[in-house]
Amino acid sequence: MANHKDPVAVIGLGRFGTALALELAGGGTEVLAIDHRPDVVQRLSGQLGQVVIADSTDPDALSEIGIADFARVVVAIGNDLEASILTTALLTELGIGDIWAKAVSRQQASILERIGAHHVVFPEQDMGERIAHLVAGRLLDWVELDPQWVFAKTKPPRELVGIPLGESGLRKKHHVTVVSVKPENGTSFTHADYETVLTYGSVIVIAGRPQDVERFVDVR
């Protein structure tokens, strides 16, 4: 199993792959970034320590760059279905223990999972869904842990203001939980508990099922 300190190889340096590689490197993770386009590799050579030109659908090319030595590899190829599938299949054959793959459709995701991807992500879809929640309602942020559990940042409704959370009946009435709060004029979030009293200027983080959270943020 991959350790969180292990180096990561990122294959495909489009917008998603580039942002991912830069973020990992910025956080102290050793990154090998790979793309078949010389101009892309040249552009990123000054920003990432290891950037190489390679065709990830060629097993010899993967062998030459030592991809088998990596416990974690991200296939950040989305729009080229054939390259995405071939690359993921080759990584599976090499016994990579933790393969992450980008998909742009459910059909592609299904194929990637069947040929060995351990994790499939939908960056554009996930971001679109998140932004939709922010645009459509009173949410300040929305994070989905899985399809049935989310965290959301919002302002408290009138019924929660001025009384301890333990006396609000929040979980029984709305099926959500306030897990964190940033007080009015506060600089950071802190744990919420039964004694926490909210004001109109507070910002809260709530947890619950998506449908319950959406209903709750519509409460005035």
| Domain range list for the chain | 8-121, 126-217
- Residue 6: predicted pLDDT: 83
**What is residue 46's predicted lDDT score, i.e. its pLDDT?**
87
Residues 78 and 95: their CA atoms lie apart, in Å, by 22
pLDDT value at position 3? 52
Q: In the predicted model, what is the mean pLDDT of the chain?
A: 91
pLDDT at 84: 96
What's the distance, Cα to Cα, between the start and end of the chain in Å? 47
Please list the ranges in the chain whose pLDDT falls under 70: 1-5, 133, 135-138
- Alpha carbon distance 105, 97 (integer Å): 24
Architecture of 8-121 per CATH? 3-Layer(aba) Sandwich (3.40)
pLDDT for the residue 128: 73
Which residues in 84-115 are b (16+ Cβ under 10 Å) and which e?
Answer: bbbbbbbbeebebebbbbbbbeeebbebbeeb
In percent, the amount of the chain with pLDDT more than 70 equals 95
Fold of 126-217: Alpha-Beta Plaits (3.30.70)
pLDDT at 5: 65
Q: What is the DSSP string of 28-96?
A: T--EEEEES-HHHHHHHTTTSSEEEE--TT-HHHHHHTTGGG-SEEEE---S-HHHHHHHHHHHHHTT-
Report d(CA 151, CA 210) in Å as an integer.
9
* Count, residues in the chain: 220
How high is the pLDDT of residue 136? 63
